[in-house]
């Protein structure tokens, strides 16, 4: 009984990996905790003890992909660093093999406040903090207007990506990201 001996991190990792594999195969709508348990060779209560819903399980599974990949570099050039990080985020979440699962997770957050809260606590807020920290360094170095609200800057950077990902559902390209960044720095008004 190999499965019965798996404990702690190994078991958690196996369940999350199975969730991602099965989610990719059959889609989020058909995914169930029962199916994950069966594929992973564990009892469903083993999963329910830790994850109260398939939304919670998918969230943890998706988040386990990130690791340090979404940290910001600091080369001294804030535009280049924002561009590099956002390209990585887009490739990981919005264009990669998991994009439909991430999309389904945000969809679930519209109907389940617990998923919405967990998504924010586990992913959105920590990423926002990293973005604001990188912008603050740039502001301290004179690369940003001193008066600019950094939380607002974060929302203007992130919002258009989610708008395309969730609303128009057009492909998220690096060119689009680059255009947003350039526009955010130069502004739309006529140059003085």
The footprint of its own copies (CB under 8 A) covers: 28-29, 103-104, 106-111, 116, 119-120, 124, 142-146, 148-149, 152-153, 155-156, 158-164, 166-169, 176, 179-180, 183-192
Calpha distance 47→14 (Å, rounded): 11
Judged by CB, which is closer to its own copies: 63, or 155?
A: 155
Degrees to nearest 5, angle at CA 66 with 60 and 69? 165
Q: How far is the CB of 58 from its own copies (least distance, A)?
A: 13
| Inter-residue contact 135 to 150 (CB < 8 Å) | yes
Judged by CB, which is closer to its own copies: 14, or 150?
A: 150
Judged by CB, which is closer to its own copies: 37, or 161?
A: 161
| Inter-residue contact 164 to 172 (CB < 8 Å) | yes
Q: How far is the CB of 6 from its own copies (least distance, A)?
A: 32
Q: How far is the CB of 21 from its own copies (least distance, A)?
A: 20
Q: How far is the CB of 1 from its own copies (least distance, A)?
A: 37
Residue ranges of alpha helices (H) inside the chain are 2-5, 8-26, 33-40, 44-50, 54-63, 78-89, 99-109, 113-119, 125-140, 150-162, 174-186
Size of the chain, expressed as the number of residues it contains: 192
Judged by CB, which is closer to its own copies: 15, or 153?
A: 153
| DSSP at 164 | I
Q: How far is the CB of 110 from its own copies (least distance, A)?
A: 3
Judged by CB, which is closer to its own copies: 8, or 142?
A: 142
CA quadruple 41, 46, 48, 54: dihedral sign:
negative
């Amino acid at each position: 009984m190999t499965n019965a001996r798996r404990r702690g991190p190994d078991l958690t990792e196996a369940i999350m990996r199975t969730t991602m594999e099965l989610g990719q195969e059959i889609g989020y709508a058909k995914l169930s905790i029962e199916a994950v348990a069966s594929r992973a060779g564990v009892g469903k209560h083993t999963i329910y003890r830790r994850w109260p819903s398939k939304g919670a399980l998918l969230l943890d599974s998706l988040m386990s992909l990130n690791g340090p990949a979404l940290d910001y570099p600091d080369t001294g050039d804030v535009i280049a660093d924002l561009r590099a990080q956002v390209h990585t985020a887009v490739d990981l979440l919005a264009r990669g093999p998991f994009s439909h699962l991430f999309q389904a997770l945000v969809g679930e957050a519209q109907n389940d406040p617990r998923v919405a809260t967990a998504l924010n606590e586990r992913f959105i807020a920590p990423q926002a903090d990293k973005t604001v920290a990188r912008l603050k360094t740039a502001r301290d170095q004179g690369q940003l207007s001193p008066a600019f609200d950094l939380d607002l800057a974060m929302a203007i950077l992130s919002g258009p990506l989610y708008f395309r990902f969730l609303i128009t559902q057009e492909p998220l390209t690096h060119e689009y990201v680059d255009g947003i960044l350039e526009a955010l720095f130069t502004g739309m008004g006529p140059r003085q």
